[in-house]
A and B are shown apart, each in its own frame.
Chain A
């Protein structure tokens, strides 16, 4: 390469950086900036009325898992916090599973409609997004509360004798989150199924696979990118969900999101809130890494 060419290449590389500068600045300000602030705050001391005092302290991090005994000052495991973490993770996993169980048949149904009808069905799927999340959540509440639509219908049909006490339980939160995040599962699944070559079904049946085996051995492995994408899109917001557990969990069945809110507002412990936020980020990242790695291993048993 001649010197002149070399200079040109360098120059175009520099120009490339310059051109992407606005995006990089935005990224810094919008994503990395707040994250840095949160990390710094997690190492400070809580102020009297919220906010922080600029004194280094690890208390925020320590109190994620431990509580200091008010009498002798010894540290004990914070069971309540662990319960909240566990509830968040398990409810998010269950939400993802329920959304998949409902979303897969839905996406399959839409993808197998004639082309003209598909747009209409996809449109219907997105309708819930038009309404505010809070309103949708209250609508779910209206359905599942003791005198709600569901109980009234079941009582009327004679299936149950006393109303089901669903509201303000983990089940209520699960129902609410599954409903709210279902479209996020359906859309990527639809995209994957839409690309699926339906002739492979006949090839599967022809080669002695039962319907179940065709699903397990042919359809699911091939649409797996859609399953992975849908699961991630449902799992992440579920883990950080705030409105749904607040409204349908009734305040006592907190998830991490509510717990963080509690620290920043009523609890006036911003360092703990900040440390919890970082913890949530770490859990999400770890869960994603584990999940994506497991998904890749499944598809490639020999490699």
Chain B
């Protein structure tokens, strides 16, 4: 390992409830988060993202397993003794304090001198561009401004790790895009490790250095956005992130044989029945009967502006979607009902074990 690990969870299990109603919100999760990276926990609602964040923040004790910070076991430390701060989904700003007092709260509680608190608060307000609002009550701010206050408040004590639980989900689309850029900027400028939670795969892909994909309390895959997108380790990851085609296949020497009988050259160590996955943009449409192409028939096209999704059926009815550039005006493009051939871009197809 070359890069320093800031937060680590080892075999973290968190079970809620008793008897017959036990929910394993986290099921043996081990994860290492590197110093200074923008790490995103991605997964559908209820998969345990918040629970993992709460274990790291200290609001929740793991049923078993340990949480480490810079190599030291912090599993039993209460939240106020962990150099970790949270941006809450509801913001949870203190309604009785002004913007500046909110931002300075953590520093004051740490017992920093007044002058230092003031200097740091000014600096943080400048960072999130809220200096004119310093004296306002938080109830007088818009949603986006409250969000910035929450960020400034959590960043002010210079935590080792900043936890963000779906901080953008309450914002409308435009503000959301703005805040995505803003968050990325803040992370770069402060150099603080961010652990960001979202169920939005596009948000995860655009913002993160690395992504951890979760499902049903388990960590499915950890990797860079590109790795996650191009080399999903299982069907869940492949389908949750982006769109993809799944083709039933069996392993044969040198590749896999599709249900149509066509053989696709692909490297795999798997055996027996597998699933071949390939992203729509990696599917090339060629002339019918071209050597090595798989025969297909165009069923219908869905127009997306720059791109068009071309839905096709293979000889045995298996559906395949190709994403092609929309034809220039005047050109016909791929006409519905015609026979075509398809090829997969070299290295694009991937075998998933069932």
User: B96 and A208: CB pair below 8 A?
Assistant: no
29 contacts between A and B (CB under 8 A): A197-B90, A200-B92, A200-B94, A202-B59, A202-B79, A202-B86, A202-B88, A202-B92, A203-B86, A203-B92, A203-B94, A204-B105, A205-B58, A205-B59, A206-B80, A206-B86, A206-B154, A207-B85, A207-B109, A207-B153, A207-B157, A208-B80, A208-B81, A209-B105, A209-B109, A213-B109, A218-B94, A222-B94, A222-B96
Interface centre among B78, B95, B96 (most CB of A within 10 A): B96
A105 sits at the interface (CB 8 A): no
B36 sits at the interface (CB 8 A): no
* Chain B residue with the shortest CB-CB distance to A203: B92
In the bound complex, what is the Cα–Cα distance between A91 and B143 (angstroms)?
48
Q: Which residues of B contact A202 (CB under 8 A)?
A: 59, 79, 86, 88, 92
B106 sits at the interface (CB 8 A): yes
Of residues 132 through 146 on chain B, the ones whose CB sits less than 8 Å from some CB of chain A are 135
B residues neighboring A (CB under 8 Å): 57-59, 78-81, 84-86, 88, 90, 92-96, 98, 105-106, 109-110, 135, 153-154, 157
Q: Which residues of B contact A208 (CB under 8 A)?
A: 80-81, 106, 109-110, 157
Question: Would you call the interface of chain A mostly helix, strand, loop, or mixed?
Answer: helix
CB distance from B8 to the nearest CB of A (A): 20
User: A206 and B94: CB pair below 8 A?
Assistant: no
A14 sits at the interface (CB 8 A): no
Of residues 154 through 209 on chain A, the ones whose CB sits less than 8 Å from some CB of chain B are 197, 199-200, 202-209
* Given A221-B96, A302-B98, A302-B135, A206:B90 Cβ within 8 A: no
* Given A199-B90, A202-B88, A302-B135, A207:B106 Cβ within 8 A: yes
In the bound complex, what is the Cα–Cα distance between A210 and B110 (angstroms)?
10
Q: Which residues of B contact A204 (CB under 8 A)?
A: 94, 105, 109
Q: Which residues of B contact A199 (CB under 8 A)?
A: 88, 90, 92
CB distance from A13 to the nearest CB of B (A): 34
A residues neighboring B (CB under 8 Å): 197, 199-200, 202-210, 213, 217-218, 221-222, 299, 302
Interface centre among A208, A209, A221 (most CB of B within 10 A): A208
CB distance from A226 to the nearest CB of B (A): 13
* Chain A residue with the shortest CB-CB distance to B82: A206
CB distance from A155 to the nearest CB of B (A): 43
CB distance from A22 to the nearest CB of B (A): 39
CB distance from A300 to the nearest CB of B (A): 9
CB distance from A143 to the nearest CB of B (A): 40
CB distance from A95 to the nearest CB of B (A): 27
In the bound complex, what is the Cα–Cα distance between A218 and B102 (angstroms)?
11
CB distance from B76 to the nearest CB of A (A): 15
Q: Which residues of A contact B90 (CB under 8 A)?
A: 197, 199
In the bound complex, what is the Cα–Cα distance between A302 and B98 (angstroms)?
10
Other 13 A-B pairs with CB < 8 A, given A199-B88, A204-B109, A208-B157: A197-B90, A197-B92, A197-B95, A202-B86, A203-B88, A203-B93, A206-B57, A206-B59, A206-B86, A208-B106, A208-B110, A210-B109, A222-B96
Q: Which residues of A contact B84 (CB under 8 A)?
A: 206
In the bound complex, what is the Cα–Cα distance between A259 and B81 (angstroms)?
57
In the bound complex, what is the Cα–Cα distance between A199 and B98 (angstroms)?
18
CB distance from B280 to the nearest CB of A (A): 42
Q: Which residues of B contact A205 (CB under 8 A)?
A: 58-59, 78-80
* Chain B residue with the shortest CB-CB distance to A209: B109
CB distance from B292 to the nearest CB of A (A): 59
Q: Which residues of B contact A299 (CB under 8 A)?
A: 96
Q: Which residues of A contact B109 (CB under 8 A)?
A: 204, 207-210, 213, 217
In the bound complex, what is the Cα–Cα distance between A186 and B153 (angstroms)?
34
* Chain B residue with the shortest CB-CB distance to A202: B59
* Chain B residue with the shortest CB-CB distance to A301: B101
CB distance from B318 to the nearest CB of A (A): 49
CB distance from A189 to the nearest CB of B (A): 16
User: B92 and A209: CB pair below 8 A?
Assistant: no
Q: Which residues of A contact B59 (CB under 8 A)?
A: 202, 205-206
* Chain A residue with the shortest CB-CB distance to B150: A203
